[in-house]
Chains A and B, each alone.
Chain A
Amino acid sequence: MPTFELQEQRKAPISQVGIVRWLRDNLFSSWASIGLTLFSLYLLYLIFPPMLDWMIFSANFNFGTVDIFGLEIKFSEEMATNANCGREAACWPYIYEKFYMYIYGFYPRAESWRVDIVYALTAMLFVMVRVLRNFTHKNKAFLVMFIIFPFASFYLISGGVFGLEHIETHRWGGLMLTLVIASVGILFSFPIGILLALGRQSNLKVISLFSTIYIEFIRALPLITILFMASFVLPMFFSEGMNFDKLLRALIAITLFQAAYFAEVVRGGLQAIPTGQYEAADAIGLNYFQKNALIVLPQALKISIPNLVGSSISLFKDSVLVLIIGLMDILAMVNMTSNDPYWLGRETEGFIFVTIVMWVFLYSMSRYSKKLEIRFSTDHKN
């Protein structure tokens, strides 16, 4: 009579695991693969040692004495000058000297604490989101925070209220301006994008037609064109003396531009929601707004997170285009500061510095998106 005996689980054979196995599978699996691996190693050898040498080993770090929060660190006797810095390798004292310009632009030094507070508030926002996660009224708290934050930041930076000195937008610059443009663009275009996406799916033909035309029109134009339009063409239609802030015009242009892209991303998410969800929402008696706000959008947006963040990253990168209409963002600061007669010809250091700053921000965004995806997942699939 046959009996059923449960067999013990065994470990996989040693040839199936470990680093040797990985190397053989991924780098040396065939002659072609061996060739490509060696070629890639050679390329890395060509690029990396000189780069590291330029950036670090032969670079000049003579910052003089640096005061970091009251802590004095002595790098060298005196700070290097452009002349004695050398041309063969990076001259980082240039970045140190121009650091303020890169971060704040022409913002008055005496008032820079206001910008620092905004940076701190932004960081706090992320901390608060974590802390309040299990708070009972967290949705209301988040809503209040996200409504107050932009206004608080705006009045802090711009001033003109509570006795704060008014700082005109043409003095805003550097990383601060880049962040203002990117975050305003993302925050304001997001709701517009959702409305456009819902509009495009709408059964009301007029709304659907309007949304479709808007989205397709904007997506067929390069951002530069739209910026030029907003900056140079639009003022021609306004009457004389009506002064419309240049930054505001750029922000409106970017917001309208990005809204079209968000709309398409959200539409992709909407189309992934099965009809059964709409039918169930209808059948239990929800109205149009409840159906979208409670059932459809939460699911559609969750699916769209990777693409929404991808689109936001594109916008962040595209925001440097504002330098062609004369706004002094972080990239514009490279040319601006290396035109300084005292630090002539240090563009390379500038560009590399900007690259690193941009990379840090964009990579964090990308990682954050990954986290959001995991947190909002209710798939619970094994």
Chain B
Amino acid sequence: MKKENNNSNIIEINELNKWYGDFHALKNINLKIKEGEIVVVCGPSGSGKSTLIRCVNFLEKFQEGEIIVNGTQLTDDVAKIRSIRSEVAMVFQHFNLFPHLSIIDNLTLAPIWVHNEGKDEAREKALKLLDRVGIKDQADKYPNQLSGGQQQRVAIARSLCTSPKIMLFDEPTSALDPEMISEVLDVMIELAKEGITMICVTHEMGFARKVAQRIIFMDEGQIVEENDPETFFHHPESDRLKLFLDQILTH
């Protein structure tokens, strides 16, 4: 019955509330994201943007409201959570590569163990993906031998390995040296062109302007304003967003 409404919305978040102990981290979040849409979430630190996208693949539990991903409602059910996680991939701020495994093993882990693919098949696919992010020649090295930018590109390749429908990016460039940010953003822009659904928490306003179809501004655990990039940057409605844009764009 609900499925009909969800057809165009791959993610649907209704009346989401989350607390850390007594702290009200997310307040009445309502958000609908269409398949293939590219959404950038921005806002000052502590505004709940990371918490929001971490709720989408259930890395964070929430107390009230509902999240429906690809027609499946998130509950405590372990099997459901795992099935959602195989469709929702996540890229972290600190890459979170597995340091005891080589790059290629980092990539083939989920296909082999979660999706029961053959070793050779998984390896071939992984090498293709590494080629796509431009680090095929590093396949047999270990994560700590790579630069930050390369590590983040490996992390992106790793999350693509399971052919996810949705990609979540949690400040993917915040931990990088300025010189390496663009190489990661380039990969993300390439991805955006391919029609994968992306939710991206980032402070890279240039990236947001270039690829986002919608930008969401959060503060104090609430969605303050959401708009297309043009309106967002040039005709902000709320004073809070005006102030925020003032602070980040003057430098």
A interface residues with partner B (beta carbon < 8 Å): 274, 276-277, 279-287, 290, 294-295, 298-299, 302, 378-381
Contact = CB atoms under 8 A, between A and B. Distances in A.
Nearest to A290: B113
6 contacts: A276-B96, A280-B97, A284-B110, A284-B114, A285-B110, A380-B142
Given A299-B100, A302-B100, A378-B99, A283 B89 contact: yes
B98 interface: yes
Nearest to B88: A283
B142 A378 contact: yes
Given A286-B113, A298-B100, A378-B142, A276 B85 contact: no
Nearest to B114: A285
Given A285-B82, A285-B162, A380-B145, 9 more contacts: A276-B96, A277-B98, A280-B92, A283-B159, A294-B109, A299-B99, A299-B100, A378-B144, A379-B99
Contacts of B98: 277, 280-281, 295, 299
B138 interface: no
Nearest to A382: B145
Interface in B44-83: 57, 59, 78, 82
A299 B113 CA distance: 18
B94 interface: yes
A282 B59 contact: yes
Contact of B114 (A274, A286, A298): A286
Most buried by A among B78, B141, B144: B144
A376 B182 CA distance: 34
B175 to A, nearest CB: 11
Nearest to A302: B100
A287 B96 contact: no
Interface of B: 57, 59, 78, 82, 85-86, 89-90, 92, 94, 96-100, 109-110, 113-114, 141-142, 144-145, 158-159, 162
A283 B85 contact: yes
Contacts of A284: 85, 89, 109-110, 114, 158-159, 162
A283 B90 contact: yes
B228 to A, nearest CB: 29
B92 A279 contact: yes
A379 B144 contact: yes
B132 to A, nearest CB: 18
B216 to A, nearest CB: 21
A276 B94 contact: yes
B96 A277 contact: yes
B110 A286 contact: yes
Closest 10 CB pairs of A and B: A280-B96, A276-B96, A284-B110, A285-B85, A283-B90, A285-B114, A285-B86, A380-B145, A378-B142, A380-B144
Nearest to B94: A276
Contact of A294 (B78, B96, B113): B113
Nearest to B86: A285
Contacts of B85: 282-285
A212 to B, nearest CB: 23
A274 B92 CA distance: 13
B101 to A, nearest CB: 8
Contact of A279 (B59, B97, B113): B59
Contacts of B141: 380
A290 B78 CA distance: 14
Q: Give the residue among A277, A284, A286, A381 with the most B Cβ atoms within 10 A.
A: A284
B214 to A, nearest CB: 24
A228 to B, nearest CB: 43
Nearest to A376: B100
Contacts of B142: 378, 380
Contact of A276 (B92, B100, B159, B162): B92
- Which of B92, B98, B159 is most buried by chain A, counting CB atoms within 10 A of its CB? B98
A38 B39 CA distance: 75
Nearest to B146: A380
Residue of B78, B89, B96, B142 most packed against chain A (CB within 10 A): B96
Contacts of B159: 283-284
A284 B110 CA distance: 6
Contacts of A302: 100
Contact of B59 (A283, A285, A298, A379): A283
B100 A279 contact: no
Nearest to A283: B90
Contacts of B89: 283-284
Contacts of A285: 82, 85-86, 110, 114, 162
Contacts of B162: 284-285
A299 B143 CA distance: 14
Given A283-B90, A285-B86, A378 B100 contact: yes
B82 A287 contact: yes
A282 B85 CA distance: 8
A54 B57 CA distance: 73
B67 to A, nearest CB: 16
A295 B143 CA distance: 14
A43 to B, nearest CB: 46
